[in-house]
Amino acid sequence: MMARHKILLHCLLLLLISQCAEVEVGRPHSSNSPLLTEDISLTDDSNIQIHLKRQKRNVNQQLKYELDVALNLTGNFTDRALKLFLERLNPIQIQIENATFNITNITLTTVCRHVDNETQCRCDGGFIWNSTFCDKYQSCSVNITEDRSCDCIRNEPTEGTYCDLPTVSTTPTQSTVHTTTPQNTTRPITTPTTVSTTTTTMSTTITTVSTTTSLTTQDNREKQNYAVRISELSFTDDLNNPSSSLHKNISEEFNSLLEDFYRKLRPDAILNILGFSKGSVIMLHEVTTTRPLTNEEINSQIQNLSPKYTAELLPDDEIPCQDETYGITNYNTIAEIPCQNRAGVMKRRCGKNGKYEEELDFCVSQEINNILKAINSTNLENTFSNLLQQLSNATNVVNISTPGNVEAVVTILTQISNVNATVDKTDMENFLETISAVISLASIDTWKVLTNTKNENGPNPSSQLLQSVENFNTRLVLQNDTLHIKEENLELRAARFGRQNNDSINVTFANFPIKEYANLSANILISSEEVEDTPNATVVTIAYPTWIDILPNTTTFSGNFLINGLVATITLNVKNPVNINLTFSRRNRMLDLNTAVCAFWDFNGNGAWNNTGCKREINGENIICNCEHLTSFSMLMSPDLIDDPALGYITRIGVAVSIGCLSITIIIEGSVWKRVTKNKTSYMRHIGILNIAVNLLIADVWFVVASAVKPGTRACTAATFFIHFFYLALFFWMLTLGLLLVYRLLFLFHDLSKSVMKGISFSIGYLCPLIISVITIGVTYPRNSYTREDACWLGWDKGYPLLAFVIPALAIIAINLIILTVVIFKLLRPTIGDRSRSNNQETETFKQVVRSIAVLTPILGLTWAFGIPTFQKGSPKAFHYIFTILNAFQGFFILVFGTFMDKKVREALMKKFSLSGFSSRTTTVASTSTTKPSSKLNFSFHSRKKKYVLTHQLHSSDNNPSQRYSSLS
């Protein structure tokens, strides 16, 4: 019987594929093919159904069909025998005319049997029934997954749908496949199988493609999530419980309302309510349609949802997130789940467009958690030294830089710092070793996570840790007069003022081992006069370079500031006010010294920088701070751009002038192109000038776009990329003009074709800047350093992407200046071969190229020489004015020196406007004959400074020959 089934199935597949081929080539066929809708008997007691699920065309003009073949078989067949039967069927290759059909894979997906007086349909081959079928037909699976899918149901689906892959969400719909009911059968088996076929129109090529699973729904439908807020409802926990009566009632009511609503907009819409969240009640639902809906369409009708409810459609970027693990969470809200086998939680923030952001590990390691438990259950005055030792050891064993571990360490150290007990050298060493571990370079991103995920009313974790350090320092008892502890990320110096030692405390911190902070230094000076009334006063100073990137830059005073100096904590066991002097070096030397502010960290509220009681002095390249109290200090500087209305007006006017001149240049080049590109040198020169104008024009347009775009957005990133690319292309086309000079000067007897020269020029002009631009964004964008925080231009603070523009631009300017020096030197000392040059047009064009580069390179180079400093924070205002003014005339310079100074262009324009007779360099005597010249005599002679060429043209039919004289200097 198996052999007979195999032959009949082969024939049936051949008929089906033939019909598909007829449809594809446009042959007459029935619109309601019985092959897809009717049962076809294999035997009297067996039948087969075939359903064409989907049809796809790929780029190689192949057709791919996925078929569901349902076999109704009678007889005592085991699953193993059935699989062996199907495996022997493939691969099947069918040749029809000039096409080859390959059945590449047959997979058993669903087996339905009578078991214990009921029909059970079980999935095979990794396929499953989704939750909709498992709920509707009752699951007979031993285990049900978290998403309520199963591999067995207790009836054969009436929808004609079979098991599907886990990644595809299937909604029961009415199918055209008819199910044959077996009569007088024992243990009937329904075997839906997936058959993938691929075709090619080339008879000589046989292509075999493995089965692939499409993630689209039936009929190429698309799924889209939407969220509607219902104001009249209040959220309760029962709405998160699918088995509760409230959940069922609300789901049924709104499933009907929303489905009717969406089907008025799209008749084929299928609705699936995903769940509910807080905010009155926000209803997250999925809509499946062949043509996606827009928010405008929904908003125009959403008020008509029901007279009973007020519905509000949430914007796409604010819809709740939905996940099997984290459930449904509102936009910008953090969802939490317990950690597996560890204390703590895992967190995910719901981001824009219903997408969860990266998962955050707030789990606590076993070693840290044991200390955390001991902190809350023991007498810390007696045990804190032992716990500090354990904590210091744990930092060498576990990954201390995870958010969960750092948060736990902050809690532990905060409680220990508040213990009323003295601290010795060992305690301080263990304490600082732990501090150094949690403020390491690897932990900086973790601190940003802690700051962004803290409770609104809770303390800032970094501020909390800094305060614990100050509290712990006040309990230090020196066994000697000094103490020096140096860790990788901090350094402590403690000293005691002696009774007989009147020396001041003068401490310098410098030469930190971390490369990113190697240029930081700070000097702390406290006069002995400040502690005359306190014998044996002890001062403890700690400097931490990494805290620059950990503490927030929020301030109690107005303005935008960055921490630009070493953070230093100073504690002194005196009650009276103390004057101290601190000298800071700058981390970022590009920031304006005049914006520097001396400030201390104020622990009130969430913590902020406060400048009360501190005065600033500028001492060369350093900042001196004089403060009247003790705490943690640093120096802040402003990164803001110069806000000058005059610069704004000059910029807008200048860019408009530049765009106008460049447009005129392009128009002129296009109008006189044929007249001025008659030799290769001239042709390549004008190609270069035209591309320089086009690139500068497009760059200026993107500059205008960037000024209207909000920094930090994707549009800002795109604008920065295109500005970078087109400005680079401008310089690389200047380089091609320089290389043209070198080629025409040094390779006199080597002649490249016009197409080869164009290919080389366009490769240099566009491929090189494209490679640089792509590499720059590819390397710096993932690190969030590609653009500036306050402008749409290449960043500088991290990764230095601005160098990807500065270095190529300055290098090209230098190369062109060297080329010009060589060319001018050679022109002033011509060789004998040069004197014999007879092609006047080539010579004139050659000189014009020299003029263009000689003028444009210094002008454009000078412009960007002043422009580069303006991209740095805190640059002097004079550079902004000079660059803005020069930038306004870049297009003007190209128009004048690249176009109008070209004699051929001027003559072509004069001829175009019938003004050729006014050329001052050419005198023409009109000829009265139009016959062909019979001869042409050339005479040339030389003087010391000039070469003169006399052209004598004779016409055979005229007694008054035309004579033309021309001179080249």
Q: Is the pLDDT of residue 620 over 70?
A: yes
Q: Residue 767's pLDDT band (boundaries 50, 70, 90)?
A: very high
Run of H or E including 967: strand 963-968
Which of 745, 659, 668 shows the shortest CA–CA distance to 705?
A: 659
Please state which of the ranges 94-98, 467-471, 521-525 shows the lowest mean pLDDT. Answer: 94-98
Q: Give dist(CA 880, CA 640) in Å, integer.
A: 14
For the entire predicted model, the pTM comes to 0.53
pLDDT band at 747 (very low <50, low <70, confident <90, very high): confident
CATH number for the segment(s) 648-827+846-912:
1.20.1070.10
Residue 112: which residues within 8 A CB-CB, separation 6 or more? 119, 120, 121, 122, 156, 188, 189, 190
Average pLDDT, the chain: 75
Lowest mean per-residue pLDDT among 239-243, 629-633, 755-759 = 629-633
Please list the residue range(s) of the chain that carry CATH number 1.20.1070.10. Answer: 648-827+846-912
CA distance 350 to 131: 25
**Under 8 Å between Cβ of 841 and 682:** yes
Position with higher pLDDT, 178 vs 333: 333
Contacts for 922 with CB less than 8 Å, ≥ 6 apart: 966
Q: Cβ of 236: how many Cβ atoms within 10 Å?
A: 14
Instruction: Give percent above pLDDT 90 in the chain.
Output: 26
- Distance CA(691)–CA(366), nearest Å, equals 65
What's the pLDDT score for residue 656? Answer: 86
**pLDDT attached to residue 146:** 67
**pLDDT > 90? residue 321:** yes
Per the model's pLDDT, the better-predicted residue between 878 and 281 turns out to be 281
Above 60 in pLDDT, residue 545?
Answer: yes
Q: What is the mean pLDDT of residues 811-831?
A: 73
Least confident of 478-492, 505-519, 557-571, 821-835: 821-835
Residue 609's pLDDT band (cuts 50, 70, 90): very high
Q: Is 8 helix (H, G, I), strand (E, B) or coil?
A: helix
- Residue 798 pLDDT > 50, yes or no? yes
Model confidence at 262, pLDDT cuts 50, 70, 90, reads: very high
Residue 522 has pLDDT above 90, yes or no: yes
pLDDT given at position 674? 83
Of the pLDDT bands very low, low, confident and very high (cuts 50, 70, 90), residue 573 is confident
Q: Which residue has the higher pLDDT, 13 or 893?
A: 893
Q: What is the average per-residue pLDDT within 59-73? A: 62
Count of CB atoms situated within 10 Å of the CB of 614 = 19
The pLDDT value given to residue 180: 33
Confidence class of residue 849 from pLDDT cuts 50, 70 and 90?
low
The answer on pLDDT for 193 being more than 50 is no
Is 481-642 a CATH 2.60.220.50 domain? yes
Tell me the mean pLDDT in the region 549-559.
87
Average pLDDT over residues 867-875: 59
Model confidence at 634, pLDDT cuts 50, 70, 90, reads confident
Task: Give the model's pLDDT for residue 83.
Answer: 65
Nearest to 13 by CA among 194, 179, 191: 194
pLDDT at 589: 79
The full DSSP string for 133-195 is HHHHH-B--S---TT--BSEESS--TT----B-TTS-------SPPPPPPSS-SS-EEEEEEE
N-terminal to C-terminal alpha carbon distance within the chain = 103
Fold of 222-333: Alpha-Beta Plaits (3.30.70)
Domain with CATH 1.25.40.610 in the chain: 364-477
Q: What is the pLDDT of residues 335-354, one digit of tens each?
A: 999 999 899 999 999 998 89
Q: How many Cβ atoms sit within 10 Å of the Cβ of residue 460?
A: 21
Q: Residue 469: pLDDT above 80? A: yes
pLDDT on residue 77: 61
Which of 169-178, 708-717, 754-763 is predicted least confidently?
169-178
Say yes or no to pLDDT of 645 above 80.
no
Residues of the chain with CATH 2.60.220.50: 481-642
Compute CA distances 563 → 140, 554, 560, 630, 771, whole Å. Answer: 64, 10, 10, 19, 35
Residues of the chain with CATH 3.30.70: 222-333
- What is the spatial distance between Cα 793 and Cα 545, in angstroms, rounded to a whole number? 28
**Mean per-residue pLDDT, 187-205:** 33
**E-strand spans in 688-740?**
none
Residues 686-716 as b/e (b if ≥16 CB within 10 A, e otherwise) read: bbbbbbbbbbbbbbbbbbebbeebebeeeeb
| pLDDT, position 356 | 93
Give dist(CA 524, CA 509) in Å, integer: 9
Per-residue pLDDT for 692 more than 50? Answer: yes
Q: Do you know the residue count of the chain? A: 969
CATH number assigned to the domain covering 364-477: 1.25.40.610
Band of pLDDT at residue 964, cut at 50, 70 and 90? very low
- Select the more confidently predicted residue: 42 or 884: 884
